[in-house]
Amino acid sequence: MHLEFTLVADDLLEMQKSFSKAKLGMSLNLLLLASAIAILSALVFLALPIETESVIVWAIAMAILPVAFLLRSRRIRAKCRKTIAETPSFNGLTTVEVSEQGLAMTAPGSRGESTWDAYISYLETQNLFLIFMSPKMARVLPKRAFGSDEDRQALRSLLTTHIGAVFPKKRPARVAGDIK
């Protein structure tokens, strides 16, 4: 199966989200906690005879949290764009040959082949296939590079057959002499 694609910022952003789902979940939980504290504080302020200035200062402080969270999301997207712009192998056409043996990739300034044994797990996201060489390093194959649903299904079959483990689980280490 032959694939051709150019990585875009949204690919890296989606990949980063898959690496840090737990971290993102924690951030959202903190945001919800801060919102709950703000609401409870407002109720307490309304119930007690407190100066209006104190309520306003507290409300402003609590309003800053969601704004900071949104600005952080924009900063991450900008960082992904910058990474693509500054990384030669991301700046151009990447070709991938997928076979029963593994992956052969050619990108600007690099070329390499790896057998399926080089990968420990994989993850399918809404727009990507991520094939992990380590818990923090993955090959990115955008779904838009596939010619058809049948090609995407063929890759799923190869990943299940040769890797088996779905991220974040790690494939058990092979012992010398194991027969595949």
Query: pLDDT tens digit string along 22-55?
Result: 444 555 666 666 667 766 666 666 666 656 666 6
Give CA–CA dist 93/108, Å, rounded.
Answer: 7
Residue-wise pLDDT for 129-150, tens only, equals 999 888 878 899 999 999 999 9
Higher-confidence residue of 87 and 109: namely 109
Q: 105 forms bridges with which residues in the sheet?
A: 96, 112
The model's pTM: 0.65
Contact 104, 85 (CB under 8 A): no
Structure tokens at 75: 């900063």
Structure tokens at 128: 């990507």
Residues 134 and 125 sit within 8 Å (Cβ to Cβ): no
Confidence category of residue 64, pLDDT binned at 50, 70, 90: confident
**What average pLDDT does the segment 86-114 reach?**
88
Token pair for residue 135? 């818990």
Residue with tokens 């801060």: 34
**Domain ranges for the chain:** 9-88, 91-162
Tokens of 28: 């959202």
